[in-house]
């Protein structure tokens, strides 16, 4: 594992007086893949959104590569280039072709040339098996395809850290796999990732570390094998039990 | 065709006068539409601001311009500015001002509605890619807004073209006024000229508004 | 929502009305004096552009009519060019109050209410109400009407107001438009039609079988030029002009050139006012 990339210290976040994240601290090293699991409403997605400063925080601080994220709003666009985020609902830009969706940010934000940006976009699309869809528009693609494009759109900015917010939750089951395969591939390349998911088998396969979040705080963390096979806390055990079923018929 | 009184249109310069009147109507409405489209986008962007003062002021502007009949606005712009400030605006200038003010208010409200209908996540995904506020508005939000706006804007533009007939109240002789002049000049000799002349006016208004809806259809096709 | 809107609208309207009153009262003269007009070389005259035969635009785009004939003479005698402004009945007073025209010559009937806001010069025409009826039974006096003899009027006209106020015993049959009233008379729905006398005279002239039995009903009104309130130099010049034009019987010539075709020569003397003096009946 490399040097420290993300550090969250005593993060406090509330919505209209209700505490969502409570004194949460966490560090992530370069090349590390951390998967956040936990019951609905435990604050997983909010945590990701705070890291990207899509949500204001009420206390604590978040450092990316040593720079505090919430300190200066004018620096945000710069900092966000280092953080890629993929949303549950893809959020491709419907009025732009797949290629234009991907090349918009590199061209406008990083001022890269069109040819350069398009060449890389096509290479990345090739890698996720969608090179032939470059000229299409988002509405012509299936959910799984759209999500793969959204991942490419983030990757082309060469972010140091990738955030995935329940990226398979809106997909039909047969499309989940094609997206998760892309994430597994990224993990193999040694990318630093913070992933929120409900796919426990996938979490076990991809993670270096599992963070179990409940009631706005990290209740338990550890290596996947330890967490899934020998959860230490009672709350984690109860959570994991909701994914197993007893056989009811002989 | 004699019975409909079309023949009065071919007397002297009548048809040319009618076309001249159409040009006056189009000149006023097109300049006003041009101003409204640009200023309306800015107005709409202002109207989505959270600042309560900005909100109240834009709201007051919109409601005022909307509630006041255009006729009253025309009188205020033409006669009122002379009374209060001693300005001597021409009827056409006053008309352009009134229609631009009205169009900006209506356009602003349409833009506000369209902006608010763009999902919050579109702003967020643009921000997450590192686009700043201006870039996000220009490249992501505005193009989607304009596509949503298109049908309503076309409606507004044709409404503006047709409403220009009111400017006859401040001495601007546009197509409808010319039509009335032609009908009245012939009221003894061709008492039913009204049918033919108004029918012609109707067709000319249609021909003026038609290209606008053709353009809209073409754009809609290109964007869909 | 609708109520708040209505209240807001009312408030705004009142605000504007109140804003208008003091502005009009205290402002420096809005009008141009006679010398200023002469120095400028152009006079602005407000005329109707669609009231044939008083003020209208012919097929060559030229202003014509009884009012315009007089306007042309004003321009000639003042030695200035004329800029015709197309006015509507509803904005004639406003044009003078803001000085946007120097003279209104638009079939402007003299009334006490208007005289508070504008200054009328001497009259150049008479108007009164008239009653037209079929030749088979020409009504020459309202007393000839029995209780079930309806008289046709157009809603909102002076004729309607006058008859309701002065002859409440007359049974009225009201129509919204000129065309409907005309049809009603032709179909015999009413025994007579009361309207401005110019209108009924023109009708009788164009439709055989009808006679204007009462050419002048009730008080006679006059038509006069008007200038902005207080524009005494221009007013005096206009009055002198009208008086001096009597020598050449100018308004008779005007009538013959513009109105005779519509109203015939029979009514020339009763309609024209020469030298600003209305002849006693």
Does C145 share its domain with C259?
no
Asked whether A124 and A102 are in contact (CB, 8 A), the reply is yes
Asked whether B149 and B110 are in contact (CB, 8 A), the reply is yes
State the DSSP H helix or E strand holding residue C47, giving kind and residue range, or none if neither.
strand C42-48
Which pLDDT score is estimated for C19? 57
Per-residue pLDDT of chain B (224 residues; tens, 9 = 90+): 457 778 888 888 999 999 999 999 999 999 999 999 999 999 998 998 889 999 999 999 999 998 889 989 999 999 999 888 888 899 999 999 999 999 999 999 999 999 999 998 899 999 999 898 899 999 999 899 888 888 889 889 988 988 888 998 898 999 999 998 998 888 777 878 888 899 999 999 999 888 888 888 888 887 76
Q: Does A170 touch chain B (CB under 8 A)?
A: no
**CA B180 – CA B21 distance, rounded (Å):** 11
Mean model confidence pLDDT for chain C: 87
Does C32 share its domain with C120?
yes
CB contact under 8 A, B79 and C23: no
CB-closest option in B12, B82, B170 to C59:
B12
Residue C16 located in a structural domain: no
CB contact under 8 A, B183 and C24: no
B-contacting chains (≥3 CB pairs under 8 Å): A, C
Total domains in chain C come to 2
Contact list in B for residue A150 (CB cut-off 8 A) is: 125
Q: Does C107 touch chain B (CB under 8 A)?
A: no
pLDDT band at residue A2 using 50, 70 and 90 as cut-offs: confident
Q: Does C89 touch chain B (CB under 8 A)?
A: no
Contact list in B for residue C56 (CB cut-off 8 A) is: 181, 184-185
pLDDT band at residue C2 using 50, 70 and 90 as cut-offs: very low
Provide the ipTM. Answer: 0.86
Which pLDDT score is estimated for A1? 59
**CA B101 – CA B80 distance, rounded (Å):** 16
**CA A23 – CA A10 distance, rounded (Å):** 4
For C247-276, how does the pLDDT look when each residue is reduced to its tens digit (9 = 90+)?
A: 999 999 999 999 998 888 888 888 899 998
CATH topology of domain A4-241: Rossmann fold (3.40.50)
Contact list in C for residue B12 (CB cut-off 8 A) is: 58-61
In this structure, the strands spanning A161-165 and A33-37 are unpaired
CB-closest option in B68, B86, B181 to C12:
B68
Q: Which residue of B has its CA nearest to A161?
A: B128
Q: Do chains A and C touch (3 or more CB pairs under 8 A)?
A: no
Query: Does the structure show a pLDDT above 90 at A196?
Result: yes
* Residue A73 Cα, gap to closest chain B Cα (Å): 10
Contact list in C for residue B6 (CB cut-off 8 A) is: none
Asked whether C107 and C46 are in contact (CB, 8 A), the reply is no
Query: Does the structure show a pLDDT above 70 at C4?
Result: no
**Two tokens at A80?**
């966000």
**Two tokens at B80?**
């009122």
In this structure, the strands spanning A161-165 and A83-86 are parallel
Q: Which residue of C has its CA nearest to B74?
A: C91
Q: Does A123 touch chain B (CB under 8 A)?
A: no
Mean model confidence pLDDT for chain A: 91
The residue to which tokens 């006024």 are assigned? B177
**Phi, psi (degrees; rounded to nearest 5) at A36:** -100, 125
**CA B167 – CA B164 distance, rounded (Å):** 6
Which pLDDT score is estimated for C1? 40
**Two tokens at C250?**
């100018």
Query: Domain span at residue B133?
Result: 2-223
Asked whether C59 and B12 are in contact (CB, 8 A), the reply is yes
Q: Does B86 touch chain C (CB under 8 A)?
A: yes
Ranges of beta strands (E only) in chain A are 4-15, 18-29, 33-37, 59-64, 67-68, 83-86, 161-165, 192-196, 209-214, 217-222
Query: Does the structure show a pLDDT above 50 at A14?
Result: yes
Q: Which residue of B has its CA nearest to A153?
A: B129
For residue B23, give the CATH number of its domain: 1.10.3720.10
Residue C98 located in a structural domain: yes
CA distances from A74 to A154, B124, C100, C265 (A): 21, 16, 55, 87
Give the mean pLDDT of A220-248. 89
Interface test with B, best of A50, A81, A91, A163 (most B CBs within 10 A): A91
Residue C21 located in a structural domain: no
Contact list in A for residue B127 (CB cut-off 8 A) is: 52, 54, 76-77, 80
Residue B101 CA from chain centroid, whole number: 10
Asked whether A78 and A53 are in contact (CB, 8 A), the reply is no
C-contacting chains (≥3 CB pairs under 8 Å): B
Residue C3 located in a structural domain: no
pLDDT band at residue C9 using 50, 70 and 90 as cut-offs: low
CB-closest option in A54, A104, A157 to B127:
A54
Alpha-carbon Rg for chain A in angstroms: 19
**Phi, psi (degrees; rounded to nearest 5) at C246:** -65, -35
Ranges of beta strands (E only) in A89-177 are 161-165
Which pLDDT score is estimated for C154? 87
Asked whether C106 and C87 are in contact (CB, 8 A), the reply is yes
Q: Which residues in chain B (156-195) have CB-CB distances under 8 A to chain C?
A: 168-171, 173, 177, 180-188
Which pLDDT score is estimated for A96? 93
The residue to which tokens 């090293």 are assigned? A29
Contact list in A for residue B131 (CB cut-off 8 A) is: 77, 104-105, 108-109
| Closest of C272, C159, C258, C174 to residue C218, by C-alpha | C159
Query: Domain span at residue C51?
Result: 28-124+224-264
**CA A21 – CA A40 distance, rounded (Å):** 14
DSSP bridge partners of A28: A6
Residue C281 located in a structural domain: no
**CA C109 – CA B213 distance, rounded (Å):** 47
Which pLDDT score is estimated for C158? 81
Q: Do chains A and B touch (3 or more CB pairs under 8 A)?
A: yes
Asked whether A228 and A240 are in contact (CB, 8 A), the reply is yes
Q: Does B117 touch chain A (CB under 8 A)?
A: no
For residue C194, give the CATH number of its domain: 3.40.190.10
Q: Which residue of A has its CA nearest to B147?
A: A95
Which pLDDT score is estimated for B57? 93
State the DSSP H helix or E strand holding residue C134, giving kind and residue range, or none if neither.
strand C125-134
Residue A203 CA from chain centroid, whole number: 12
Does C94 share its domain with C232?
yes
Total domains in chain B come to 1
CA distances from A39 to A19, A44, A52, A198, B24 (A): 16, 9, 22, 9, 68
Residue C106 located in a structural domain: yes
């Amino acid at each position: 594992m490399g040097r420290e990339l993300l550090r969250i210290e005593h993060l406090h976040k509330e919505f209209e007086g209700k505490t969502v994240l409570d004194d949460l601290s966490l560090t992530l090293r370069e090349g590390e893949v951390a998967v956040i699991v936990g019951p609905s409403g435990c604050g997983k997605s909010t945590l990701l959104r705070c890291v990207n400063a899509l949500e204001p925080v009420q206390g604590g601080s978040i450092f990316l590569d040593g720079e505090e994220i919430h300190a200066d709003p004018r620096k945000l666009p710069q900092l966000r280039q280092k953080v890629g985020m993929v949303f549950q609902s893809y959020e491709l830009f419907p009025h732009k072709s797949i290629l234009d969706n991907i090349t918009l940010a590199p061209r406008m934000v990083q001022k890269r040339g069109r040819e350069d940006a398009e060449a890389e976009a096509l290479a990345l699309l090739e890698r996720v098996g969608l090179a032939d869809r470059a000229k299409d528009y988002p509405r012509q693609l299936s959910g799984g395809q759209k999500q793969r494009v959204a991942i490419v759109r983030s990757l082309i900015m060469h972010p140091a850290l990738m955030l995935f917010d329940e990226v398979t939750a809106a997909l039909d089951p047969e499309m989940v796999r094609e997206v998760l395969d892309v994430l597994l591939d990224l993990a193999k390349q040694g990318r630093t990732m913070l992933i929120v998911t409900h796919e426990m088998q996938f979490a076990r396969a991809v993670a270096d570390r599992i963070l179990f979040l409940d009631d706005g705080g990290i209740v338990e963390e550890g290596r996947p094998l330890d967490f899934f096979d020998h959860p230490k806390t009672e709350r984690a055990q109860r959570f994991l039990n909701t994914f197993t079923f007893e056989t009811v018929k002989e | 065709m004699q019975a409909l009184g079309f023949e009065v249109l071919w007397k002297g310069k009548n048809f040319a006068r009618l076309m001249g009147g159409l040009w006056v109507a189009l000149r006023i409405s097109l300049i006003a539409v041009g101003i409204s489209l640009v200023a309306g986008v800015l107005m709409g962007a202002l109207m989505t601001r959270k600042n309560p003062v900005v909100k109240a002021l834009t709201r007051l502007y919109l409601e005022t311009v909307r509630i006041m009949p255009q006729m009253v606005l025309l009188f205020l712009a033409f006669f009122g500015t002379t009374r209060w400030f001693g300005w001597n605006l021409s009827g056409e200038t006053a008309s352009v001002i009134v229609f631009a003010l009205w169009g900006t208010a209506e356009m602003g409200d349409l833009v506000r509605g369209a902006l608010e209908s763009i999902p919050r996540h579109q702003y967020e995904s643009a921000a997450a890619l590192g686009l700043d506020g201006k870039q996000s508005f220009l490249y992501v939000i505005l193009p989607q807004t304009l596509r949503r706006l298109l049908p309503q804007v076309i409606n507004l533009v044709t409404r503006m073209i047709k409403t220009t007939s009111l400017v006859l109240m401040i001495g601007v002789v546009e197509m409808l006024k010319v039509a009335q002049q032609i009908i009245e000049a012939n009221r003894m000799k061709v008492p039913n000229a009204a049918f033919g002349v108004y029918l012609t006016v109707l067709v000319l208004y249609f021909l003026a508004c038609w290209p606008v809806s053709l353009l809209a259809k073409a754009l809609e096709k290109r964007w869909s | 929502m609708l109520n708040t809107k209505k209240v807001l609208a009312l408030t705004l309207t009142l605000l504007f009305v109140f804003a208008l009153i003091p502005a009009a009262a205290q402002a420096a003269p809005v009008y141009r004096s006679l010398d200023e007009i002469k120095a400028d070389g152009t006079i602005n005259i407000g005329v109707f552009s669609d009231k044939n035969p008083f003020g209208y635009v012919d097929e060559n785009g030229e202003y014509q009519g009884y009012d315009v004939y007089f306007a042309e003479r004003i321009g000639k005698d003042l030695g200035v060019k004329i800029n015709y402004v197309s006015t509507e009945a509803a904005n004639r007073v406003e044009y003078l109050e803001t000085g946007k025209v120097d003279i209104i010559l638009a079939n402007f009937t003299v009334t006490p209410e208007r005289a508070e806001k504008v200054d009328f010069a001497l009259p150049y025409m008479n108007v009164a109400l008239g009653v037209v009826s079929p030749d088979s039974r020409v009504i020459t006096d309202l007393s000839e009407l029995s209780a079930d003899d309806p008289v046709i009027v157009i809603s909102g006209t002076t004729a309607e107001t006058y008859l309701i106020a002065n002859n409440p015993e007359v049974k009225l049959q009201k129509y919204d438009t000129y065309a409907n009233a005309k049809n009603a008379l032709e179909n015999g729905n009413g025994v007579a039609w009361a309207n401005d006398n110019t209108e009924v005279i023109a009708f009788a002239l164009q439709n055989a079988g009808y006679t204007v039995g009462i050419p002048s009903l009730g008080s006679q009104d006059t038509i006069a030029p008007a200038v902005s309130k207080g524009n005494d130099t221009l007013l005096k010049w206009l009055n002198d002009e009208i008086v001096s034009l009597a020598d050449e019987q100018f308004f008779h010539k005007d009538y013959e050139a513009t109105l005779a075709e519509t109203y015939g020569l029979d009514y020339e003397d009763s309609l024209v006012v020469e030298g600003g003096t209305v002849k006693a009946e």
